[in-house]
């Protein structure tokens, strides 16, 4: 039996509350399968750790994580620690250190999930967002000149390398080919006259290698408008780091809310561990009350099973989640219910168990 070693980093705010349920569901899937199991090691890293030790994780944190098959992360962020410190020293550090250059974020309206678009049919909202996750606007380089002077200037670089653009766009073409769906590139070459002109050029070049994949290209402003007005236009979508960040929160809003939006940070070559997480933050406004929706974390767990090659169990986890949503009796307040985080986790695990053994 294969045992997967999972590094669990619950992090801050609602992170620990939702990951506990995600791990519960993963373990239930393992038990039902009889074919694999999980060995989870929990790391108390995050803002609490920072306030005590002056760093978000120990100095050898990345080396420790390297020995795991996957990382399961809750959320990072605490009003007592500046966000650019907490995020750059934990979440973004892991994405970068492990070259997790693919950020795979499903935007899919499940049965039973609320949608604010009054004319949209469920099937209209079914996108596979592929966000560049290693460079672009998140390169982390820039300069701060004449600090405190009247002529003060700050520059935040956007770094787009040929290697970086090609690998993410190629990954998107391969995904579209596999899913037999169209591929849309979202950029902004009318204003960003270096980075996005380059991005568009590479998209064009690669499209010649995939004549079987129908392609579309949108400017990001128009794309945001169409995601609301006519979401059925989008199937597989590839976009830069920052645009992908923003558009997937918009995606979450049309597909049931932040409590339902999951993401996988993949190193497709499997040279380093990949990381699975809900895309929401630490939600300080509801943290500590046991009412956060654990479904995004459960969905991320299903992505982990897919990535390990257990697509059958990934699908079953997602189906169990959808069954609980559709049933509608055990939902957290963000979905109009009165259930607690752990009641929702229990309900999904129970559904999975009812589905039987592999």
Closest residue to Mn ion, based on beta-carbon distance: 245
| Contacts with ligand IPM, 283-312, as mask; x by CB under 6 A | ------------------------------
Closest listed residue to residue 305, CA positions, set 1, 109, 64, 33: 33
The answer to whether residue 69 forms part of the interface with ligand IPM (CB under 6 A) is no
Which residues in the 235-294 window bind ligand IPM by CB under 6 A?
245, 279
Q: How far is the CB of 350 from ligand IPM (least distance, A)?
A: 30
Shorter beta-carbon distance to ligand NAD: residue 182 or 224: 224
Closest listed residue to residue 43, CA positions, set 64, 26, 63: 64
Shorter beta-carbon distance to ligand NAD: residue 45 or 199: 45
Q: What angle do CA 353, 26, 300 make, to 5 degrees?
A: 120
The answer to whether residue 258 forms part of the interface with ligand NAD (CB under 6 A) is yes
The answer to whether residue 259 forms part of the interface with ligand NAD (CB under 6 A) is yes
Q: Per residue, what are the HEC states of 46-77?
A: CHHHHHHHCCCCCCCHHHHHHCCCEEEEEECC
| Gap between the terminal Cα atoms of the chain | 14
Q: Facing residues of 293 across strands?
A: none
The answer to whether residue 87 forms part of the interface with ligand IPM (CB under 6 A) is yes
Which residues in the 75-94 window bind ligand NAD by CB under 6 A?
75-77, 83, 87, 91
Interatomic CA distance for residues 194 and 197, integer angstroms: 5
Q: How far is the CB of 344 from ligand NAD (least distance, A)?
A: 10
Between the alpha carbon of residue 62 and those of residues 46, 90, 279, 323, 340, the distances in Å are 14, 9, 21, 37, 34
The answer to whether residue 113 forms part of the interface with ligand NAD (CB under 6 A) is no
The answer to whether residue 209 forms part of the interface with ligand NAD (CB under 6 A) is no
Shorter beta-carbon distance to ligand NAD: residue 294 or 314: 294
Token couple for 93: 């550090």
The answer to whether residue 352 forms part of the interface with ligand NAD (CB under 6 A) is no
Q: Facing residues of 210 across strands?
A: none
Shorter beta-carbon distance to ligand NAD: residue 88 or 226: 88
Residues binding ligand IPM (CB under 6 A): 87, 91-92, 245, 279
């Amino acid at each position: 039996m294969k045992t997967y070693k999972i590094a669990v980093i619950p992090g801050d705010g609602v992170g620990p509350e939702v990951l506990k349920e995600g791990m519960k569901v993963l373990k239930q899937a393992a038990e039902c399968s009889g074919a694999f199991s999980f060995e989870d090691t929990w790391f108390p890293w995050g803002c609490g750790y920072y306030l005590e030790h002056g760093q978000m994780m120990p100095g050898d944190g990345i080396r420790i994580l390297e020995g795991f098959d996957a990382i399961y992360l809750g959320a990072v962020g605490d009003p007592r620690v500046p966000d650019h410190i907490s995020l750059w020293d934990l979440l973004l550090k892991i994405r970068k250190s492990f070259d997790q250059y693919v950020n795979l974020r499903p935007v899919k309206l499940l049965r039973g999930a609320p949608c604010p678009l009054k004319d949209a049919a469920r099937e209209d909202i079914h996108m596979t967002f592929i966000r560049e996750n290693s460079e672009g606007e998140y390169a982390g380089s820039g300069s701060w000149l004449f600090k405190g002077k009247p002529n003060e200037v700050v520059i935040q670089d956007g770094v787009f390398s040929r290697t970086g653009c090609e690998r993410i766009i190629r990954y998107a073409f391969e995904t579209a080919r596999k899913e037999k769906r169209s591929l849309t590139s979202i950029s902004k070459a009318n204003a960003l006259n270096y980075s996005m002109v380059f991005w568009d050029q590479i998209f064009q070049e690669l499209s010649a290698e995939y004549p079987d994949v129908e392609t579309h290209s949108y400017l990001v402003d128009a794309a945001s408008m169409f995601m609301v007005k006519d979401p059925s236009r989008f199937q597989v979508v590839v976009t830069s780091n920052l645009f992908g960040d923003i558009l997937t929160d918009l995606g979450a809003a049309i597909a049931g809310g932040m409590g339902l939006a999951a993401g996988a940070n993949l190193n497709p070559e499997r040279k380093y561990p990949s990381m699975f997480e809900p895309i929401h933050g630490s939600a300080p406004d509801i943290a500590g009350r046991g009412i956060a929706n654990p479904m995004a974390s459960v969905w991320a767990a299903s992505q982990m099973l897919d990535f390990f090659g257990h697509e059958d169990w990934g699908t079953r986890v997602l189906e169990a989640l959808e069954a609980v949503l559709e049933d509608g009796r055990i939902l957290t307040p963000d979905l109009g219910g009165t259930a607690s985080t752990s009641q929702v986790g229990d309900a999904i695990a129970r559904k999975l168990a009812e589905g039987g053994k592999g």
